[in-house]
A and B are shown apart, each in its own frame.
Chain A
């Protein structure tokens, strides 16, 4: 749609001052990865090395299954220059508490620049999630400078449970949450000049949903039907989990992103795919042994 609109507008661009409404203002290279008990055990250094390698070509890394609120790598290897860390704490039960984390470029050369706001997300309905998703509002600016855009980045790690029903229910609840985020009209604290969200803020989820988005016949999994009915799209649906020998197994890691209803909320998402297995392909046992039972996923997101 954007291409069509851009083609039509190209005839009159000479007399127009404003660019097409759907032009991409900011591009983000985003990775999402479940790092399997990140911060516990003896493999933290290997995980950190992989994160630093990923950060070279990535603006934002959404991390699931983090076991400490502090950035585990700070005690192991230097953080990539110009990157900041933001944890989020979903409630746990018992001794098991998982955090989410976001590693993001703030002043890193050659990267988009992200500034975290303190804007609180809409309140979640009680008891809808075993592990509520963590939504953060960022102001993202182009690497080359210039005006930025607000975008919600949301970390997800769905419950498992014993059967598929609760997993699907959590995905539907996440869709309701995404709609709330997109339509928020909250004031952004500290914005100068004061800025109020316009009810059409783009939303990008990344995470381990413990659920495939589409079935083998291509039909949408009932868990993702609320997303697809409300102008959210999802990808990839590749096999991203790994068995102990490092073979691909389940299709659990996905981005979910707003595609409307207003042009301002329509993200363009390019080539979402799983990360390659470094360095020698499958079976991906070194990664499975030393990093995670999930390969991450990557995409390039255009914010209008």
Chain B
């Protein structure tokens, strides 16, 4: 994620939200598709459902000298109806982008402005909270794998790896069908494209790509292709 994205999110939130208010959750709410709570792809991460024993992950970053800097220590505590995160702001008066990861394909975003240098505690943005104006959560998406970036030749049974948006994350691997299509239920479309790595059916690296919205198929699903 580039620092411009952090700035853009912070900018949007500055306009949309009163500053200096600890937020229950910030940004636009999307009606969370049913697929996101029942059978979301990747919700078996660790063997547990989306709202089960598995802990979500939160990362917090800010911009310093035009570089994204991650807050080194963030704690996560379960509450009666979700999670609280806590961190000590390295720089007071700065805006911080909070990224909550529920599945490799479902992240929520929020921005906060801690007013002091003390411990800042707030509820984790629940699944379906999107702050980036051009991002959305769709009930299902199809990613078309091809033999190369920009190619229209399908890659049958190829592998697609996508990683959650936090440092240290590991990729989640899916295999395409005979037509090179990968179906994902509950998918966050990022405005800058969703990064992924494509491999051949025998498990060898093929290429890295950014997948972006291309068209809607006959079933009404968003189709993403490598650009």
Query: Which A residues lie at the B interface, using CB under 8 A?
Result: 34, 36-37, 40-43, 65, 91-98, 130-131, 159-164, 208, 210-212, 215-216, 239, 241-245, 247-251, 289-290, 293
Q: Determine which residue in B70, B202, B203 has the highest number of CB atoms from chain A within 10 A of its CB, and name it.
A: B203
Q: Quick one: closest B residue to A211, CB to CB?
A: B205
Query: Chain B's nearest CB lies how many Å from the CB of A69?
Result: 15
B57 lies within 8 A of A249 (CB): no
Q: Which of B53, B54, B85, B197 is A95 in contact with, Cβ under 8 Å?
A: B85
Q: Quick one: closest B residue to A65, CB to CB?
A: B170
Closest 7 interchain pairs by CB? A94-B59, A41-B46, A93-B70, A162-B195, A43-B47, A163-B208, A93-B167
Given contacts A162-B208, A243-B175, contact A93 B47 (CB under 8 A): no
Chain A CB within 8 A of B18 CB: no
Chain A CB within 8 A of B37 CB: no
Interface SS majority for chain B: loop
Given contacts A239-B203, A249-B199, A289-B44, contact A96 B173 (CB under 8 A): no
A-B contact count (CB 8 A): 125
Query: Chain A's nearest CB lies how many Å from the CB of B128?
Result: 20
Chain A CB within 8 A of B161 CB: yes
**For residue B70, which residues in chain A have a CB less than 8 angstroms away from its CB?**
93-94
Q: Which of A34, A131, A216, A239 is B168 in contact with, Cβ under 8 Å?
A: A131
Chain A CB within 8 A of B122 CB: no
B208 lies within 8 A of A37 (CB): no
- Other than A40-B55, A208-B170, A247-B175, give 10 A-B pairs with Cβ distance below 8 A: A40-B53, A93-B71, A93-B168, A94-B167, A96-B57, A160-B163, A212-B205, A216-B202, A250-B199, A293-B172
**For residue A131, which residues in chain B have a CB less than 8 angstroms away from its CB?**
168
In the assembled complex, the Cα of A251 lies from the Cα of B201 at a distance in Å of: 12
In the assembled complex, the Cα of A215 lies from the Cα of B207 at a distance in Å of: 13
A244 lies within 8 A of B44 (CB): yes
**For residue A293, which residues in chain B have a CB less than 8 angstroms away from its CB?**
172-173
In the assembled complex, the Cα of A289 lies from the Cα of B174 at a distance in Å of: 14
In the assembled complex, the Cα of A215 lies from the Cα of B205 at a distance in Å of: 8
In the assembled complex, the Cα of A181 lies from the Cα of B168 at a distance in Å of: 24
User: Can you spell out 19 A-B residue pairs with CB atoms less than 8 angstroms apart?
Assistant: A40-B53, A43-B46, A93-B168, A94-B71, A95-B75, A95-B76, A95-B85, A160-B161, A160-B169, A160-B171, A161-B163, A163-B195, A163-B208, A216-B204, A239-B203, A241-B173, A243-B173, A247-B175, A289-B44
B168 lies within 8 A of A248 (CB): no
Q: Which of B58, B75, B203 is A250 in contact with, Cβ under 8 Å?
A: B203
Query: Chain A's nearest CB lies how many Å from the CB of B112?
Result: 14
